[in-house]
């Protein structure tokens, strides 16, 4: 009986560890999820989601900042649109988490306070299972739906970068990039921030 209780306590700790560390959203908030396999070692996938070179290779070529815990990453697009994320957790080859602190997109206030996470696990000898989440949305709005669509596109770009060395990031200054609707960026106003 004691052995079973210990196992149950271990499972509870594992399931609630993210909540205590502050990067799992409350269950009543909307969360974008994309789970998929990348045919590449976990170390390679981790580099793609936790270094400036990696992030520039699959999300936006306008990525700058400090990718270490406590650092801030700025993901810039065109027309002055950007998201500023604070790196809240990094666990080598296993996990990365960011919290949105600022956004200049017209609907960007919906991002502020949300959390982006990447959980990586081995799937066989050479594959990596990716569990991506963008959680903490107050509601599943139209903007949430657009972001879900674009996150799917960028998860394919991450997969391509890791499997072929050629991602399809948003290219800052490109007039033909389909990554972010031009209409959304053209309406961009001043940045919104959190405390």
pTM: 0.79
CATH class of the structural domain 28-182: alpha beta
Q: What is the pLDDT of residue 55?
A: 98
- pLDDT band at residue 177, thresholds of 50, 70 and 90? very low
- Residues contacting 116, CB < 8 A, separation 6+: 85, 97, 98, 99, 100, 132, 133, 134
pLDDT average, residue stretch 58-64: 97
Higher pLDDT, 123 or 83: 83
**What residues does each domain of the chain span?**
28-182
Tokens of 44: 């390679």
6 pLDDT higher than 90 = no
- pLDDT band at residue 29, thresholds of 50, 70 and 90? confident
Q: What is the pLDDT of residue 125?
A: 85
What are the helix (H) ranges across 22-87? 42-50, 52-58
- pLDDT band at residue 17, thresholds of 50, 70 and 90? very low
Q: What is the pLDDT of residue 44?
A: 98
- pLDDT band at residue 142, thresholds of 50, 70 and 90? very high
89 pLDDT higher than 50 = yes
- Residues contacting 140, CB < 8 A, separation 6+: 30
């Amino acid at each position: 009986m004691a052995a079973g209780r210990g196992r149950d306590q271990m499972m509870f700790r594992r399931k609630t560890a993210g909540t205590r560390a502050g990067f799992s959203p409350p269950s009543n908030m909307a969360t974008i999820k994309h789970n998929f396999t990348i045919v590449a070692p976990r170390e390679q996938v981790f580099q793609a989601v936790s270094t400036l070179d990696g992030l520039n290779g699959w999300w936006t070529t306008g990525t700058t900042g400090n990718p270490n815990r406590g650092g801030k990453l700025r993901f810039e697009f065109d027309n002055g649109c950007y998201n500023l994320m604070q790196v809240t957790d990094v666990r080598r080859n296993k996990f990365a988490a960011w919290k949105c602190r600022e956004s200049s997109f017209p609907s960007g206030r919906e991002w502020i306070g949300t959390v982006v996470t990447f959980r990586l696990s081995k799937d066989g000898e050479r594959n990596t299972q990716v569990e991506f989440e963008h959680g903490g949305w107050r509601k599943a709005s139209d903007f949430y739906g657009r972001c879900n669509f674009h996150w799917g596109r960028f998860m394919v770009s991450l997969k391509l970068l890791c499997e072929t060395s050629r991602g399809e990031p948003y290219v800052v200054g490109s007039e033909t990039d389909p990554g972010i609707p031009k209409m959304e960026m053209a309406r961009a106003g001043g940045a919104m921030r959190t405390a």
